[in-house]
Structures are given as C-alpha cells and as structure tokens.
C-alpha cells in the first residue's frame, strides 16, 4: 500500500508540471524503473470503480483515477488518445538509455493453444485498449510509439468513407515481430495504429506488415512496403511457424464458423475503418479500399546493419520542434513518416501499381516504453475470407497439417498442436511440444535451439 501511495503521489506531481515537459533527449526518467509501478498506471484504465475504491480510500485520488478511466472509455477521440498517450509518455525511457532489446520466448508463442492465440488477436474482457497485467505479448515485444494524424489527399476524400476521409487522433506503434536479439535473419517490421473515435466505442485498429517470414538480415525498418495483406512467400520456409499457427487459429474460430473451406489469414480487414467517422457516427454505406500499403514518407531509409531499430525513430525527434506549452512530447511540426497507397489487387510494387491517397504525420515525438510495449493492445480485425492463390505465395493446396509438419526443422503446426494441453488447467498451453517429441519423434534440443517464429 505504501508503494501505491508513492506512485499516486508521483502521478499527481507529474500532472502539475506536465506543461514544462518538452520530451527532449536530456529529460530524466520520470517513473521508478520498477515495472510494477508503471503497470499500476496502466491498470487504472481497466479497473472498475469498485476495484479502485478497494485499493484507494482518498476520494480525490479515486475520482482522479476514474476520470482517466472514463476518458479512455467514452471521451472524444482526441481525449481518448491523450489519456492513453499520457501514460505511455510518463512511462517512457530516456532517449539515450532505452531498455535493451531482449530475447523473445518463441516457445511461449509456439506452444500456445488456439484459445490463447485467438485472445491475443481479438482482445480481452477488460477491453481492447489495455491488456491485463498478466498478459504476455507473444510477438512484437519491442517497439516505439507516437501520435499521428492521417491526412487524405483531396482527390480521395469523396472516394471512401469514415476514417478514410482523414483522422487526427491516432496512436501508432512501430515494432518487429521478432526481436533482433532472438533470431538473426528474421527482422519483421510491423505497424499498428489505433484510430480513436468519439463516444463509447473502442479504437479501430490498422495493422500492416510485409510478410510472415521477415526481411532477412536487413534491419532497415523502411526497406519494404507494409500492408494489411501479409505475404506467405513461396519457398521461404521461415514463414511457416508463424503462418501455420495463425492459419490454424483463424480457421478454427472464423473459417469453420462461417463455413469457409480455407480461411485466408494473410489479409486483415480494413473495412471497419470506413464504417465509422472520428465523431463516432456510423456510416450507412461504407466504402473502403481493398488493400493499403505503407511506404516511406520524407525519411526514405534507416541503417541496414544490425542495430536497435527503435533508435532510428527516436533520432528523428531532434528534427521536430517541440510545443512547450502543450507538453507531453507534442510538436509544432511533425515528420511525414509514411505515405499511404491503395490498390484493388495485391502487388509487390505499390508505388508503381497503386495510388497514393494520403500520408501519416507525427503529432508528437517518438517514445519507447517497456510498460506500454507490454500493456497497450492492438486488436486484429479478421473477417471470413476464402483463400485465393497469389503467384508470389505458397499455394493454398499446401496449407494443411501434413505439409506444415512434414519436417522437424520447419516447426510448423498442425491443428491438433493447438489443442489445449491436459497438463495446463488454464487452457493457454497447447500440445505442440508434446506432439513434436512424442508423435513426430523430433528432438527437443533442436526445437529449443532453433525454433524462431
């Protein structure tokens, strides 16, 4: 209890001096390095009034915590954005002393049950903005955050609806599915953005990635276009561990329910972004692009050699004039971090075959927060979709248990591997390791040494 009061006191002090914070690179750590302290701040977004009262008896503190909770749940779009951003910003690390990239726990992902993976994709009972403290991020463990606005070119504002007309209240995360410290040759850039809308509605999320396999030893985050349609590249075996588990999960929870023979896990829906305006109004006849692509904006490339990719984004902060009056890392002029293209069919060259409809521009500096990495959640939008073949990808005829598990060293998953283990009463552990060793007669040592999702 004593530590809780210390945390709340620190938060109150931060509120009073926020206007003087400019987010500069010489700013100090503003929270204890104890991750439990940072977790306490995020917990207020998912605690009920009763739970808050059980922890804290001072009415001022109770109402202060409730106000933050309510802002994220039912405020205006930008109130929600600022409520969550405040906690991300207050738990940030010094720009020159980020918590080092660690090693992933690939078997936590590889041996998960379908139930656990599905919840990781689609959210929690407490909501889809902040994950529970007990949640373990299975992929994309390390990233950097910024507020963005989505600016749509005038020529396209009348072509599509909802948030595709533009949006001012966005928090985005730039990450890699696999930590460079875990697996060489598996760098996999990923982009996730929360579009906030007014009223009692959760954020609408855009997720973009290039492929399941990654881009090898090229650590330039901007090297390849990112899209809501991920590639399962033909003859690239490194994509099989991740793809097979994603496929088996969505086939069970989406495809089988909808009567789809082969559910396509490669394309995440963006239709929901066209179905609601930033003011929270539902669109009667939504119209959305089929596919989106993110290409480099005014910054064309980052270094390709192995390094901490988060620092590339942090280094851009010096080029953005800070808004000292607004605080919280707000800037008066941002960076056009990504150009947005649309296309009617899948293409590997969207700059040539697609159409530029707008861009994302930063509204704040970039920050990294280990607590936010663990707690800020991005919900996947998955809808029934029959798979089709693309010349560049493995054909759908191969998406089956036999092909995924035909060799010990490709680490693919059969449907039964995602069945909950009888040894784990929580239902979160799958049966992959057990089946890998006992049924397929593969080496556990090889699995522990070489498995990378």
Closest CA relative to residue 316, chosen from 370, 355, 365, 275: 365
Phi and psi angles of residue 104, each rounded to the nearest 5 degrees, phi first: -70, 165
Can you give the pLDDT at residue 53?
65
Closest CA to 176 of 362, 349, 35, 308: 308
Instruction: Measure the CA–CA gap between 151 and 154, rounded to whole angstroms.
Output: 9
Name the pLDDT band for 229 (thresholds 50, 70, 90).
Answer: very high
What's the mean pLDDT when you consider all of the chain? 87
Provide long-range contacts, Cβ within 8 A and 24+ apart, for 270-275.
270/206, 270/228, 270/381, 271/381, 271/383, 272/204, 272/381, 273/162, 273/163, 273/164, 273/195, 273/204, 273/206, 274/160, 274/161, 274/162, 274/163, 274/164, 275/161, 275/162
Lowest mean pLDDT among 33-37, 56-60, 235-239, 392-396: 56-60
Kindly report, residue by residue over 368-419, the tens digit of the pLDDT: 999 999 999 999 999 999 999 998 999 999 999 999 999 999 999 999 999 9
pLDDT confidence bin for 36, thresholds 50/70/90: low
Lowest mean pLDDT among 50-54, 55-59, 110-114, 441-445: 55-59
pLDDT at 59: 54
Report whether pLDDT(361) > 50: yes
Report d(CA 264, CA 248) in Å as an integer. Answer: 10
Place of tokens 């500096």: 365
pLDDT, mean of residues 184-189: 91
3-class secondary structure, 302: coil
List the beta bridge partners of residue 356. Answer: 341
- pLDDT tens-digit map of 74-117: 899 999 999 999 999 989 999 999 999 988 777 889 999 999 99
Torsions phi, psi for 364 (to 5 deg): -135, 175
Contact 234, 392 (CB under 8 A): yes
323 pLDDT above the threshold of 50 = yes
Quick one: average pLDDT of 168-173? 98
59 versus 297: the higher-pLDDT residue is: 297
Average pLDDT over residues 47-57: 67
57-76 average pLDDT score: 65
Confidence at residue 61, expressed as pLDDT on a 0 to 100 scale: 52
Instruction: Please name every residue paired with 112 in a beta bridge, in sequence order, or none if there are none.
Output: 429
In the predicted model, is pLDDT for residue 51 greater than 80? no
Q: Which of 272, 238, 56 is nearest to 160 (CA)?
A: 272
The residue that leads in pLDDT, 108 or 177, is 177
pLDDT at 28: 38
Q: At what angle do helices 77-90 and 35-43 cross, to 10 degrees?
A: 170
Model pLDDT for residues 235-289, shown as the tens digit of each residue: 999 999 999 999 999 999 999 989 999 999 999 999 999 999 999 999 999 999 9
The answer to whether the Cα torsion of 163, 166, 170, 173 is positive or negative is positive
SS3 label, residue 86? helix
pLDDT of residue 453: 62
Helices 2-17 and 35-43, packing angle to 10 deg: 70
- Asked if pLDDT for residue 150 goes beyond 60, the answer is yes
Who has greater pLDDT, 367 or 59?
367
């Amino acid at each position: 209890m004593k530590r809780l009061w210390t945390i709340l006191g620190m938060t109150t002090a931060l509120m009073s001096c926020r206007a003087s914070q400019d987010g500069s690179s010489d700013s100090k750590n503003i929270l204890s390095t104890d991750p439990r302290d940072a977790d306490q701040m995020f917990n207020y977004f998912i605690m009920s009034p009763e739970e808050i009262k059980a922890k804290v008896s001072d009415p001022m503190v109770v109402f202060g915590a409730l106000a933050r909770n309510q802002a994220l749940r039912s405020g205006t779009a930008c109130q929600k954005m600022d409520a969550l951003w405040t906690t991300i910003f207050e738990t940030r690390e010094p720009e020159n002393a980020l918590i080092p990239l660690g090693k992933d726990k690939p078997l936590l992902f590889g041996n998960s049950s379908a139930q656990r993976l599905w919840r990781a994709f689609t959210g929690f009972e407490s909501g889809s903005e902040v994950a529970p403290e007990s949640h373990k991020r299975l992929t994309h463990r390390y990233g950097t955050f910024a507020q963005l606005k989505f600016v749509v070119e005038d020529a396209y504002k009348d072509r599509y609806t909802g948030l595709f007309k533009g949006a001012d209240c966005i928090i985005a995360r730039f990450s890699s599915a696999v930590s460079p410290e875990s697996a060489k040759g598996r760098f996999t850039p990923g982009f996730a953005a929360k579009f906030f809308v007014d009223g009692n509605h959760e954020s609408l999320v855009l997720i973009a990635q290039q492929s399941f396999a990654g881009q090898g030893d090229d650590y330039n985050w901007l090297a390849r276009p990112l899209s809501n349609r991920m590639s399962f590249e033909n003859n690239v075996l490194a994509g099989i561990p991740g793809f097979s588990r994603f496929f088996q999960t969505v086939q069970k929870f989406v495809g089988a329910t909808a009567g789809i023979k082969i559910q396509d896990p490669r394309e995440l829906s963006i239709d929901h972004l066209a179905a609601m305006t930033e003011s929270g109004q539902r669109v009667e006849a939504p119209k959305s692009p089929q596919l989106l692509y993110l290409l480099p904006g005014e910054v064309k490339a980052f270094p390709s050699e192995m390094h901490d990719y988060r620092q590339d984004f942090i280094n851009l902060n010096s080029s953005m004039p800070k808004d000292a009056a607004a605080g919280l890392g707000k800037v008066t002029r941002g960076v056009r971090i990504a150009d947005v293209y649309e296309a009617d069919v899948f293409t590997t060259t969207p700059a040539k075959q697609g159409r530029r409809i707008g861009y994302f521009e930063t509204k704040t500096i970039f920050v990294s927060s280990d607590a936010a990495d663990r707690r800020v959640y991005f919900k996947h939008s998955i809808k029934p979709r029959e798979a089709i073949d693309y010349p560049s990808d493995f054909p759908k005829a191969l998406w089956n248990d036999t092909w995924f598990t035909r060799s010990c060293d490709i680490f693919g998953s059969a449907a039964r591997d995602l069945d909950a283990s009888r040894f784990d009463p929580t239902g979160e552990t799958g049966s992959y390791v057990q089946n890998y060793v006992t049924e397929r007669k593969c080496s556990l040592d090889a699995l522990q040494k070489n498995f990378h999702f």
